[in-house]
Amino acid sequence: MKNLLILPLIALFVIGCSNERKALKEKHDEVLQEVFDAHDVAMPKMGEINTLLKQLEEKIDSTSESENYIKAQKDLQAAHKHMMTWMQDFSSKFPDVNQIENLDAKELKQRTDSLISEKPAVEAMRDHVLKSISRAKEILNN
C-alpha cells in the first residue's frame, strides 16, 4: 500500500522539478536576449565611431578651436573601448552562455541571476556608445 502512495508523490515531484526548470530556462533565455539586444544596438555603431573619429581628426588638424573636437574624439574612443572591454568581460564570465542543458535548477538560477546583474553593464555600454556618437555628430554639425 505504501508503494502505491510513493509512486504518485515521486511523479508529482519530478513534474514539479521539470516545470520549475522550464520556467527558469524561459527566464534565462529572456534575460539573455535582453543582454544581447542591448549589445546588438551598440555593435553596429563601431563603424560609425571609426568614421566620426576620422572626421574629428580632420577638424582637429584644420582648426584652432579644436578643444571640443578633441573631447568628442576622446569620448568616442572611450565608448569604443567600453564596448570591447564589455565584450571581453562578458565572454570571460559566460564562455558557454548558451550551453545550459546540463545545468540543474540551482545552477540555472545562478546563471540567470548573473545575467540579470550583467544588464546594467551592457546598458551602460550601449548608452555610452549612443551618446558619444550623438555628441560627436552635434559638434561636427556646428
Classify residue 38 by burial, with Cβ atoms within 10 Å: 0-12, 13-18, 19+.
Answer: buried
Q: What mean pLDDT is reported for the chain? A: 87
Count CB-CB contacts under 10 A for residue 77.
14
Return d(Cα 24, Cα 100) in angstroms, integer.
11
* pLDDT interval class at 97 (50, 70, 90): confident
Average pLDDT for 66-90: 95
> What global pTM score does this model have?
0.81
Nearest one of 85, 79, 62 to 136, comparing CA atoms:
79
